[in-house]
């Protein structure tokens, strides 16, 4: 007798998919808990942590935003290898506005978010006409080129960067704002992707010709997705700039491109929550392994390959599966 593993939805999952769930605390809890608990947990951690670890959590939030942005692009079929482009452009816009015009974070961050999104979209607009790996190639080389240009032409402080920028009003404001934006981005993007608008975006990834023959302008939708994703990345850049009161060439460095992708690979792509979870694992790990120095990047790179090739499911999908389904061995007749 051969056996095979059978997976079935848990009873409570099936019941809570139905409207009757509203009658039962248990079912309601089943739906609400996985959404509310992480928010509360992070809030408690964020408030209770030492200033040093608060910074780490803030960083995790920002890298998490880059990962959400990456995942959004990937689900429309644009695989970005250069999240640093969005991050860096946002960071520099905020830095320049603050340094030369003296605008505070309350003005620079919104301007950098929108302006950075517009600028990034404009830079990448031509690539949207092409399929496949062109997007990856161009996003990979663009931030590296910009970094080199800033170094060579010494604009905006050159290698020194711009320092002494205005800080965030208060450490507490900083951490709360970081968390709030992460959750807003996560839930609203998730919501968007499950709406009909999101279906179009997924459809472009699936089959762009069919989307066109359905009378929809795919460039327009791709550009909109790119704008949203770039905006999220630019926000993260601007936020970090003010948190550290400094902006310089490292914002275009590969690190900001690699960490989000590694987070997405480890956490599980395609859900936004997965990449975010991945970043909340990797960024604190990054701090704990500080002693290893350059070896850390090697570790991410290896994790990246191992998860993509060997465990493409990722941690989030694994947890979700365990939460919604149970497994049992059943005997099958030959």
What is the contact surface with another protein in residues (CB under 8 A)?
74, 79, 81, 123, 126-127, 129-134, 136-138, 140-142, 144-146, 148-149, 151-153, 196-197, 199-200, 202-203, 205-218, 254, 258, 261, 265, 269, 293-295, 297-298, 300-302, 304-305, 308-310, 312
Taking the complex as a whole, the smallest distance from the CB of residue 20 to another protein amounts, in Å, to: 20
Distances (CA, A) of 269 to 11, 64, 81, 196: 27, 13, 15, 20
Nearest distance, CB of residue 154 and another protein, angstroms: 8
For another protein, give the closer residue by CB, 188 or 207. 207
Q: What angle do CA 226, 227, 230 make, to 5 degrees?
A: 80
Cβ closest to another protein, residue 103 vs residue 123: 123
- Kindly state the smallest distance separating residue 36's Cβ from another protein, in Å: 29
CB of 268 to another protein, least distance (A): 13
Nearest to 59 by CA among 294, 260, 264: 260
Measured from the Cβ of residue 218, the count of other Cβ atoms closer than 10 Å reads: 20
User: In whole angstroms, how close is the CB of 244 to another protein at the nearest point?
Assistant: 24
Between 2 and 309, name the residue whose CB sits nearer to another protein: 309
Indicate the burial class of 334 (C-beta count within 10 angstroms; 0-12, 13-18, 19 or more).
exposed
Pick between residue 41 and residue 149 the one whose CB is nearest to another protein.
149
Radius of gyration from C-alpha coordinates of the chain: 21
Q: Which residue, 180 or 306, has its beta carbon nearer to another protein?
A: 306
Residues whose CB falls within 8 Å of the CB of residue 140, separated by 6 or more in sequence, listed in order = 81, 82, 257
Rounded (10°) CA dihedral 228, 58, 80, 302 = -160
């Amino acid at each position: 007798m051969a056996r095979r593993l059978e997976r079935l939805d848990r009873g409570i999952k099936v019941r809570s998919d139905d409207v009757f769930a509203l009658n039962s605390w248990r079912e309601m809890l089943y739906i609400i808990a996985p959404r509310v608990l992480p928010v509360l947990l992070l809030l408690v951690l964020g408030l209770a942590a030492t200033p040093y670890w608060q910074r780490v959590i803030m960083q995790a939030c920002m890298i998490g935003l880059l990962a959400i942005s990456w995942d959004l692009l990937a689900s429309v079929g644009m695989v970005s290898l250069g999240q640093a482009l969005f991050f860096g452009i946002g960071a520099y816009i905020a830095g320049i506005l603050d340094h030369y015009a003296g605008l505070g974070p309350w003005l620079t961050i919104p301007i950098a978010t929108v302006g950075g999104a517009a600028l990034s979209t404009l830079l990448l607009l031509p690539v949207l006409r092409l399929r496949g790996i062109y997007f990856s190639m161009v996003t990979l080389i663009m931030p590296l080129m910009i970094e080199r240009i800033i170094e060579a032409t010494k604009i905006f402080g050159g290698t020194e960067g711009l320092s002494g920028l205005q800080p965030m009003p208060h450490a507490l404001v900083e951490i709360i704002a970081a968390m709030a934006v992460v959750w807003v981005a996560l839930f609203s993007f998730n919501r968007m992707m499950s709406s009909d608008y999101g279906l179009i975006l997924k459809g472009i990834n699936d089959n762009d010709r069919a989307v066109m023959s359905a009378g929809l302008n795919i460039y327009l939708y791709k550009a909109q997705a790119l704008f949203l994703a770039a905006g999220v990345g630019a926000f993260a850049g601007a936020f970090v700039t003010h948190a550290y009161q400094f902006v310089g060439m490292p914002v275009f460095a590969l690190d900001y491109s690699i960490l989000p992708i590694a987070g997405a690979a480890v956490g599980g792509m395609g859900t936004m929550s997965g990449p975010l979870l991945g970043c909340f694992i990797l960024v604190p790990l990054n701090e704990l392994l500080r002693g290893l120095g350059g070896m850390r990047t090697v570790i991410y790179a290896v994790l990246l390959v191992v998860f993509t090739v060997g465990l493409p499911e990722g941690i989030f999908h694994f947890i979700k599966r365990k939460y919604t389904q149970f497994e049992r061995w059943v005997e099958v007749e030959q």
